[in-house]
């Protein structure tokens, strides 16, 4: 239980750092957010919990394929906001696009024998 609380605290601190930094410097906050810190922490937690290198390798490979369909969101949402869409509709449309792209990646990956 203590380990789960530590994981949650460290993860929460990262989100806090990004959100507070964004108030002063959106670009620097974006740099921090774009670092694969969550993935690195997840791999460390997974290693500490299981020491299963095959599971970690599978996790890292799947993460790569799931990052790809999330990238368009970072172009679509700013475009929608600049086109005078309100925040919540822009976010909703961007998330919906990302979900559809996730489904497409899973479908295409399965055709090539990758099971995500």
The verdict on residue 87 lying in a domain is yes
- Packed helices 53-70 and 37-50: angle between N→C axes, nearest 10 degrees: 160
R_g over Cα of the chain: 17
In a domain, 16, yes or no: no
Note the pTM of the prediction, 2 decimals.
0.75
**Domain count across the chain:** 1
For 13, 75, 107, the CA distances from 69, given in Å and listed in that order, are 26, 12, 12
Is residue 45 in some structural domain? Answer: no
- Tell me the per-residue pLDDT of 58-114, one tens digit each, with 9 for 90 and over: 999 999 999 999 999 999 999 999 999 999 999 999 999 999 999 999 999 999 998
Residue 29: inside a domain: no
């Amino acid at each position: 239980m203590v380990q789960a609380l530590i994981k949650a605290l460290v993860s929460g601190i990262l989100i806090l750092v990004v959100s507070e930094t964004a108030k002063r410097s959106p670009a620097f906050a974006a740099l921090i957010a774009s670092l694969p810190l969550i993935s690195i922490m997840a791999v460390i937690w997974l290693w500490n919990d299981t020491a299963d290198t095959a599971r970690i390798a599978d996790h890292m490979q799947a993460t790569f394929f799931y990052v790809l369909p999330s990238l368009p969101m970072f172009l679509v949402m700013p475009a929608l906001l600049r086109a005078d869409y309100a925040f919540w509709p822009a976010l909703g449309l961007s998330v919906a696009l990302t979900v559809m792209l996730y489904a497409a990646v899973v479908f295409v990956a399965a055709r090539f024998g990758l099971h995500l």
